[in-house]
Structure formats: C-alpha cells, structure tokens
Amino acid sequence: MTEAGSAAGPGADEERDLLGGRWLTGDTPYGAMIDRLRDFLDHVAAAKLDDATAQALDADLAAWTQRLTPMVADEAHRMFGRVRDAPGHGQVFAPAFIPDQMGDDSLHARVTFGAFHLGANYAAHGGAVALLFDEILGLPANMSAQRMARTAYLHVNYRAITPIDKELQVSAWVTKVEGRKRFVRGELRYGDLLCADAEGLFIELLPHQQ
Ligand SMILES: CCCCCCCCCCCCCC(=O)SCCNC(=O)CCNC(=O)[C@H](O)C(C)(C)COP(=O)(O)OP(=O)(O)OC[C@H]1O[C@@H](n2cnc3c(N)ncnc32)[C@H](O)[C@@H]1OP(=O)(O)O
C-alpha cells in the first residue's frame, strides 16, 4: 500500500480535507498526470479508432492497470479528487473547473466541457452538468462547515444547450443556513446565455455519519 502524497512530497502536517485525507497541491507529478488523464479521455472520446490502435491501447491500459493494482489504498490515503489547486480538484469524472473567486459562501469559476462529457450535437451530457453542479454547489456548502455536508437534493433546470469546447462561467452561493441545512443556488452561463441553474440542499453530517 502506498500513502497518498508520499511520492508528491507533502509532509505529515499537510492540511487535511473534510474526510481526513491529505490535500495535495496541483504543482506535483500527480497533478500533472491528472491533467494528462483528462486530455487523454477527451482524445479517446473524440477519436475514430482503427482496430490496431484500439488493440494497442487496450494492451497499454492493461499494463497500467496491473502496475497500479498493488498501490490500491484505503479512502483516506487516496489522491484522486484531493488536489487542492488543480482544476476540479483533480476529480476527473467531473469537468475541470478553475475557481476565480472563492469566499466562505460563494464560488465563481470557469469551466470547459470536453469531448469526454459530450451528450450529442456538441451539447454537454445532462448528467455531466448535474455532476458539475453537485461539485460547485458542494464547495460553498462545505467551505465553512466543521463536518462534511452531503447533498440531500439537487434540482437542475436545463435552460439552453450547454456547449462543449467553450469556456463557460459557473457560480454558486449559499442562500440560507438553517441548523445543519445549507441551501445553495448555482448558475452555468455561456456569456449572456443561461445554460442551466440549480438549487441544492446540503446537510452537515452528524459525527456518527462521517
Ligand atoms: C474529497 C475531498 C472531500 C472534501 C469535500 C470538499 C467538497 C466537495 C464537494 C463535493 C460535494 C459532493 C456531495 C455529494 O455528492 S454527497 C453524495 C450524495 N448524497 C448522499 O449520498 C446523501 C445520502 N443521504 C443521507 O446521507 C442523509 O439523507 C442525509 C445525511 C443527507 C440527511 O440525513 P439525516 O438523518 O442526517 O437528516 P434528517 O433526515 O434528520 O434531516 C435533517 C433535516 O433535513 C431535511 N431533509 C433531509 N433530506 C431532505 C430532502 N431530500 N429534501 C428536503 N429536506 C430534507 C429534513 O426534513 C430535516 O429538516 P428539519 O426537520 O430539521 O427542518
């Protein structure tokens, strides 16, 4: 088993995330690899592969899977999704977002959906848009929390096509806090065009729920 971050260099006093794992910084070999992985997935999704290329890629991926298998770690020691200053904090299944402004109860970011998140007709998949909102609304919901807040509901309105390969603006802000409940709203825009908006309820976990 490998300790998360041991190759990337954070010390024992490295700041811990809400789940008790260590945050990594984007400026590490791991962060660079995650960027490469995103780019790779976009290329796989965009390509028309011939059989020989598919077979070669399959063999390479099998070799990498084998190499990674002995490094499987428990959740607190994993690195995936814990790269603090990397787009989308290194969570590859959500589209990469780059925070421009992050307060205690709001977040403004840029995001680009690539070929990997295509639904059809150059529009992002609706599930990918919902996934982005879960991440984006989840951040201000968790920013000032003592314990992690989980999504109780997430309502998404798809107002217009969300284009891929275009830089979009996404925002989220806390509208109300009632005890453990945090209500958060969000918007996804392409310039003046409102592509989607969302409302989420996040509930701060009780100690026994963590
Ligand atoms: C990796 C790094 C980590 C760092 C994190 C960085 C951020 C990353 C961001 C990523 C973020 C990703 C996040 C994810 O993806 S989290 C993953 C997706 N979410 C889940 O899996 C959550 C599953 N559900 C639960 O665990 C429980 O239901 C929770 C914990 C949410 C509440 O169960 P609990 O037993 O504790 O609470 P309660 O039932 O006493 O209810 C309490 C109050 O809430 C009200 N209520 C409850 N449900 C609803 C509802 N559906 N609509 C309206 N109201 C609702 C309820 O009426 C009551 O109100 P009141 O009577 O008190 O007024």
Ligand 1 mean position to 152 CA, how many Å?
Answer: 4
**Which CATH number is 94-209 given?**
3.10.129.10
What value does the mean pLDDT of the chain take? 88
3-class secondary structure per residue, the chain: CCCCCCCCCCCCCCCECCCCCECECCCCHHHHHHHHHHHHHHHHHHCCCCHHHHHHHHHHHHHHHHHHHHHCCCHHHCCCCCECCCHHHHCCCCCCEEEEEECCCEEEEEEECCHHHEEECCEECHHHHHHHHHHHHHHHHHHCCCCCEEEEEEEEEECCCCECCCEEEEEEEEEEEECCEEEEEEEEEECCEEEEEEEEEEEECCHHHC
Interval 114-135: pLDDT, tens: 999 999 999 999 999 999 999 9
Residue 81 in contact with ligand 1 by CB distance below 6 A = yes
Ligand 1 mean position to 159 CA, how many Å?
Answer: 26
Which is the closest atom of ligand 1 to the Cα of 181? 44
Ligand 1 mean position to 150 CA, how many Å?
Answer: 4
ipTM of predicted complex = 0.92
Q: Where are the domains of the chain?
A: 1-92, 94-209
Please say if the pLDDT value at position 85 is more than 70.
yes
Which is the closest atom of ligand 1 to the Cα of 19? 3
Please give the average per-residue pLDDT across 47-57, as a whole number.
98
